[in-house]
Amino acid sequence: MKRLFTLVILFLPMVLSNCQVESKSVATQDEDLNTKLEGVIFQASNQYKFMMENLPENRFPKTYHAKNDKLETSGSGWWCSGFYPGSLLYMYEQNKDAVLLAEAKRIMKVLEKEKFNTTTHDLGFMMFCSFGNALDIAPEDDYKEILIQSAKSLSSRFDEKVGLIKSWDSRQGDYLVIIDNMMNLELLFWASEETGDPTYRDIAITHADNTIKNHFREDYSTYHVVNYNPETGEVNKKHTAQGYSDDSAWARGQAWGLYGYIVMYRFTKDEKYLDVANNIANLILDHPNLPDDKIPYWDFDAPNIPDALRDSSAGAIIASALFELSTYVDKKASKKYFKNAETMLESLSSAPYLAEPKANGGFILKHGVGHIPENTEVDTPLTYGDYYFLEAIKRYKNLSKSSS
């Protein structure tokens, strides 16, 4: 969720060789987008400073309701709590604005207690997007201990009989696992590398392998939720809670799966994970319902396309993932992934997705979609949309810099 590794830099000459044979206009386009992104980071920093003025103490931004000009917040236990400090850190890394770093450190002190939280599968989102980024960008002595304890807490939700980390707690006889869970495995890989204890890594691999077996359809679209029998590990039911239907391709679910298996390949170099990531990427990019600006509808099978809502958060996650994936594949695939991610980034950096200054509650992106079936966070800003947008900018700029 947070690093662009050195092999990206080693791979860049291959990527650029594809671009250079086309025309000089490609290089000019890259230069123009980089210049544009500098302005986006400046505007984003001012947006978050505006948000800070309205954020209650010890609360985390969640979304914004334009109709009544209300910033909705959460406590530290909400699954999105790590994205706010993570976004602040990504911006600080690029502009060295001390105000942003100070705010990130302040709110992480509020977040720290969640390292003991064993009631959620989302500790990767909560703790690695915050303290994991801080360890790279502005490290302090206690960050490693916080992350190791977080990995211990996350591991407590793994059941050997089922072979998966439990997502949502539910009624007796249910063992619910959602595709989002793939995003939390990076914390476990980091913990094994840091401590030398292979247990965390083994849990991540077992979880990912069982997810391949049961979450994906033949076309590599994914169900959102798989309900297992906790006694036997057999599948009770497959369904989609936040998408249009049980058989539809919910856009953010496809994004979580794509990103998660790229992470799996990064840490293991096992080709089966790269194959899964490539198949998901091609499902998304070749889908007849993907719009020209590459920002997906909230569900690829939504019944009212082309009038269905877009999901900027899914677009941001996919763009960030594709930039990394472009460094692991052959020249033809790399070009495809990179150029599509670049188009997504260009789209998100412009109207109608990029918020106007001091609007949108201080969030950067508009038009995110959280949970249409429950009518929550519909066509609103979302903290994870901002976070992965900023990560995509970082990755794009690093790739461009390495190629120059």
Which residues carry out catalysis?
A: 122, 180
Q: Look at phi and psi of residue 124 and say left if phi exceeds 0, alpha if psi is from -120 to 50, else beta.
A: alpha
Question: What angle separates helix 24-54 from helix 331-348, to the nearest 10 degrees?
Answer: 40
Residue 308 is given by DSSP the state: S
CA angle 379, 380, 383 (to 5 degrees): 135
Distances 115 to 57, 103, 196, 222, 359 between C-alpha atoms, Å: 20, 20, 20, 30, 33
Q: Look at phi and psi of residue 233 and say left if phi exceeds 0, alpha if psi is from -120 to 50, else beta.
A: left
Alpha-carbon gap, residue 345 to 169, rounded angstroms: 36
CA angle 359, 360, 362 (to 5 degrees): 80
Residue 248 is given by DSSP the state: S
Residues 6 or more apart whose CB falls under 8 angstroms from that of 159 comprise: 166, 175, 230
Q: Are the CB atoms for 341 and 29 separated by under 8 Å?
A: no
Alpha-carbon gap, residue 155 to 120, rounded angstroms: 10
Q: Are the CB atoms for 399 and 393 separated by under 8 Å?
A: no
